Amino acid sequence: MTELKNDRYLRALLKEPVDYTPVWMMRQAGRYLPEYKATRAQAGDFMSLCKNAELACEVTLQPLRRYDLDAAILFSDILTIPDAMGLGLYFETGEGPKFERPITCKADVEKIGLPDPEGELQYVMNAVRTIRKGLDGQVPLIGFSGSPWTLATYMVEGGSSKAFTKIKKMMYADPQTLHLLLDKLADSVIEYLNAQIKAGAQSVMVFDTWGGVLTPRDYNDFSLQYMHKIVDGLVRENEGRRVPVTLFTKNGGMWLEKIAATGCDGVGLDWTIDMAEAKRRIGDKVALQGNMDPSMLYASPERIREEVATILEGFGTGSGHVFNLGHGIHLDVPPENAGVFVDAVHELSRPYHK
């Protein structure tokens, strides 16, 4: 395998020394870049882009040509697993993802099987292999999946939701059925992420986008325990290196200690928690990823640099911080502002790594 020229991202996640804080952005390959829009138009639609390994590789590499990022993230979607389970994923313009056959009862859950990562999901593995080759050791490649709870919300609601009434009805009125679904999803995610690692992903991340809509008890029972199961089931070493795993629960600031106790290497933070507080609570146990508000990228270059400085100061000296946004970059952010952000992290973080 090609030797990694820049492994700061992997070293920071393992709390090993680095000379500056590494940075990447959630959704860094995406709609804020004109070159992405051109490639997506060429593909025809979003899922066609995901399923074409060469084009998925192209959009993964696009932000690396513009910015001095320290990691690439696989271009894919969190709903690949439910799609491969036969729920009929489609995208309504302006409305986001929808499923033709949502999960409504126990019989629906019993019907779905575990997708084969090198069968129904082989297009994702082909993308991973193509991207690794295209990166040529420039930076590490991050693989990812949605969390079981987050995937289940889409599968039961039939698409995006604001109130989550259908899945919460199932959770409270028929918890057995939901646990059956979550357990199947956890097994699928383990197989899926391990296949990504085998195909060349050098780190993996689990996105629990909707964990923050749960009560503390329900978060433990319906989200965290299944992410814990995934962490326990992952391949943690490949190609002679440790494969770090990061867990990210949006609005999960109240549960940091519990997330850190799963055995993950990194905990993703959204912008609603102070970096210094997160460092005090769990920074001796795991690496921290985050956590600038994505909307800060609308600000002036001076204000962006000021915010970067504040977050770096909050973390303080030493390794164990991967700088990121607290969620995905917004589609109408000026691309040059993202460049200001990346450069500011590299420049302003060096004094913290002497």
Catalytic residues: 27, 31, 40, 77, 154
User: Any binding-site annotation on 20?
Assistant: no
| Strands annotated E in the chain | 72-73, 89-92, 96-99, 141-146, 203-208, 237-238, 241-242, 245-249, 266-268, 287-292, 321-325
The reply to whether 27 sits in an annotated binding site is yes
209 is in an annotated binding site: yes
77 is in an annotated binding site: yes
Q: Which of the 8 DSSP states describes residue 223?
A: I
Per the listing, tokens 């490949």 go with 238
For residue 246, which of 265, 223, 230, 269 has the smallest C-alpha distance?
Answer: 265
Dist. CA 316–CA 74, nearest whole Å: 30
Q: Is 29 annotated as a binding residue?
A: yes
225 is in an annotated binding site: no
Q: Classify 290 in phi/psi space as left (phi over 0), alpha (psi -120 to 50) or beta.
A: left
Long-range CB contact pairs, 30-36, < 8 A, 24+: 30/59, 30/328, 30/329, 30/331, 31/331, 32/329, 32/330, 32/331, 32/332, 32/333, 32/335, 32/338, 33/62, 33/63, 33/66, 33/335, 34/335, 35/62, 36/62
Tokens, residue 342: 């990346």
d(CA 354, CA 343): 19
240 is in an annotated binding site: no
Q: Find the helix or strand (DSSP H, E) in which 176 lies.
A: helix 175-199
Q: Helix, strand, or coil here: 277?
A: helix
Q: Which residues are annotated as a binding site?
A: 27-31, 77, 154, 209, 327
Residues placed in the known binding site for substrate: 27-31, 77, 154, 209, 327
